Chain A
Amino acid sequence: MVEASDVVKFLGQGAGRVQALRGVSLSLSGGELVMLMGPSGSGKTTLLSVLGCMLSPTMGSVRVCGRSTAGLAPEQLTQLRRDHIGFVFQSYHLFPTLTAMDNVRLALDVRGDYSRRVIDRAKEALATVGLSHKPRSYPLELSSGEQQRVAIARAIIGDPTAILADEPTAALDSENGHAVMSILAAIARQGTRGVLVVTHDPRILPFADRIIHIEDGRIVRKAGNGGSSAKP
């Protein structure tokens, strides 16, 4: 589904050039929820950006649904992202002037889908995250947990094959964090989508099928659902 092989990524230029990723390999399959953990500056966000086709690897390869990102122009990467990846951000990044329904519909709008089914699909996505009763609420009228759930609805409405979530519970209290992770786990359990969650939050580790630890741009440990760990 999403696969990275020996990915190396340099960021910056000249004296400020740093190696953010040093030969990272990982794969995300449908039906699993993988957590990516590591300290600040370990390369988590860079890896998420590379897997999400926002950055191209300096070396190594990334394949999304079997298609290599090597040599793709920015517009082609955007299309790959649009067709296959859904994002959930730590700060939600909802549009404050749009209702929950319109925020969700936006993901279809950028896909050029203006059909009559858009509203039904948006309602369905909001129902999936338990917000079918608040379609007309604006982000500022929603709690943090509800805003993140709207963001998840926006991520899934385009029917992506992978969902990449960056610290989705970092700004949430325990109860809301649990609710958000329950939704992401349920999405993964449907079997067709893989979910990769970048997190610092140990409270949500029980939701993971696999946990990957990254430090200094390298994967240092992979652990399965039972907690058994292995060197990569």
Chain B
Amino acid sequence: MPSGGTTPVLLIGSGRGDFGLQPWNIVAGDLSDLSIPDAVAVDRSYFDRLGTAGLGDTVEIRDLRARIRLVTQGIRSFTTTPYVFTPLDRARTYAGISPNKATYLLVRLQAGANAESVRTRLNESLAKAEALTPDAFRSRSRSFWLFGTGAGAALFAGALLGMIVGVIIVAQTLYASTKEFSNEFATLRAIGSSSQYIYTVIIIQAFLSAAVGFGIAAAIGMVIVKATADSALPVLIPPGLMAGLFLLTVAMCVFSAIAAIVHIMRTDPAVVFTR
């Protein structure tokens, strides 16, 4: 980097043909500029990380000069390690890999070809390689990050902790709220409300807590989504995830209502005569 420091990058070299993996979402430069000697493409969200000012700037990859000729937007990695695109032969040079080596080979099928049968035949004929369909590759990557690294465990532990804390906080809030209104609940029981009616009242309270809490959290989440949209680690909350989180929040709040329900159902309705 210009500052003298170093940072790891994920170098992606691909063939120049139409079928290779080329950078997309280009915001500065032209794809053909990658054929210029030393040309590389980086995403604008990594400029700070790479210590570069952007298009035309010069950096070094393993002591070899590289010039940013192409700038993309939105090509970011899960690990926040910057992707650097360059033609395959130059990538091999930067990485010190012999010309006949490749990490991945992208196979594009003709229209109408059966992907599964091609995959099967490739696996039968290739001894030291494995052919995967895009879905299988995606699933394996996801499994690796979630279950094969500490990242997944930390993610799940964080989510679990959040759920436990959420349940405890909501349970305490609902319990305190119902205890505060125990006279009113005792009155309801005294005037003949059924257990189901009491459950419904408390669960509606829990649902309202969930809706209000989720509304606030969702608003904060959307602000974070907007704020990180152009950063190296954008936060994404697609509608499906939002709906799932809402259902989870409602379920947590309803579960949290159990303590309050038990408290009220143990209250003797005859206390209304002594209060």
A and B pair up: yes
Which A residues have a C-beta under 8 Å from some C-beta of B? 45, 48-49, 52, 54-55, 75, 78-79, 81-83, 85-87, 89-91, 93, 95, 106-107, 110-112, 154, 158, 166
| Closest chain A residue, CB of each to CB of B181 | A95
Q: Of A48, A89, A93, A111, which contacts B192 at CB under 8 A?
A: A111
Question: Once the chains bind, are A91 and B189 in contact (CB under 8 Å)?
Answer: no
Residues of A within 8 A of B269 (CB): 54
Interface string of B193-220 (1 = CB under 8 A from A): 1110100000000000000000000000
| Closest chain A residue, CB of each to CB of B192 | A82
Nearest CB in chain B: distance from A180 CB, A: 17
Nearest CB in chain B: distance from A198 CB, A: 9
Question: Once the chains bind, are B268 and A54 in contact (CB under 8 Å)?
Answer: yes
With A81-B192, A110-B194 known, 15 other A-B pairs at CB within 8 A are A45-B273, A49-B273, A78-B192, A79-B192, A82-B191, A82-B193, A82-B194, A86-B191, A87-B190, A93-B184, A93-B190, A106-B188, A106-B191, A107-B192, A110-B191
Residues of B within 8 A of A49 (CB): 270, 273
Residues of B within 8 A of A85 (CB): 192
Tell me the bound Cα distance from A193 to B274 in angstroms: 25
Secondary structure type dominating chain B contacts: helix
Q: Of B184, B194, B273, which contacts A89 at CB under 8 A?
A: B273
Cβ of B128 within 8 Å of any chain A Cβ, yes or no, is no
Q: Which 8 A-B pairs have the closest CB atoms?
A: A82-B192, A110-B193, A49-B270, A93-B187, A54-B270, A45-B273, A81-B192, A54-B269
Cβ of B183 within 8 Å of any chain A Cβ, yes or no, is yes
15 contacts between A and B (CB under 8 A): A45-B270, A45-B273, A49-B273, A54-B269, A78-B193, A82-B193, A87-B191, A89-B273, A91-B272, A95-B187, A106-B188, A110-B188, A110-B194, A112-B197, A154-B191
Residues of B within 8 A of A52 (CB): 190
Which B residues have a C-beta under 8 Å from some C-beta of A? 183-184, 187-195, 197, 268-270, 272-275
Tell me the bound Cα distance from A45 to B272 in angstroms: 10
Nearest CB in chain A: distance from B203 CB, A: 16
Tell me the bound Cα distance from A95 to B268 in angstroms: 18
Tell me the bound Cα distance from A112 to B192 in angstroms: 11
Question: Once the chains bind, are B194 and A54 in contact (CB under 8 Å)?
Answer: no
Tell me the bound Cα distance from A83 to B191 in angstroms: 10
| Closest chain A residue, CB of each to CB of B268 | A54
Q: Of A45, A79, A81, A95, which contacts B184 at CB under 8 A?
A: A95
Question: Once the chains bind, are A110 and B197 in contact (CB under 8 Å)?
Answer: yes
Residues of B within 8 A of A154 (CB): 191
Question: Once the chains bind, are A110 and B192 in contact (CB under 8 Å)?
Answer: yes
Q: Of B194, B195, B268, B272, which contacts A93 at CB under 8 A?
A: B272
Residues of A within 8 A of B191 (CB): 81-82, 86-87, 106-107, 110, 154
Question: Once the chains bind, are B190 and A54 in contact (CB under 8 Å)?
Answer: yes
Tell me the bound Cα distance from A86 to B274 in angstroms: 17
Residues of B within 8 A of A106 (CB): 188, 191
| Closest chain A residue, CB of each to CB of B184 | A95
Question: Once the chains bind, are B275 and A91 in contact (CB under 8 Å)?
Answer: yes
Nearest CB in chain A: distance from B184 CB, A: 6
| Closest chain A residue, CB of each to CB of B195 | A75
Tell me the bound Cα distance from A210 to B40 in angstroms: 103
Residues of A within 8 A of B273 (CB): 45, 48-49, 89-90, 166
Tell me the bound Cα distance from A95 to B272 in angstroms: 13
Residues of B within 8 A of A166 (CB): 273
Q: Which of B190, B197, B273 has the most CB of A within 10 A?
A: B273
| Closest chain B residue, CB of each to CB of A95 | B184
Tell me the bound Cα distance from A112 to B269 in angstroms: 19
Nearest CB in chain B: distance from A51 CB, A: 11
Tell me the bound Cα distance from A83 to B195 in angstroms: 15
Tell me the bound Cα distance from A91 to B191 in angstroms: 14
A49-B270, A89-B273 given; A75·B194 CB < 8 A: yes
Residues of A within 8 A of B192 (CB): 78-79, 81-83, 85, 107, 110-111, 158
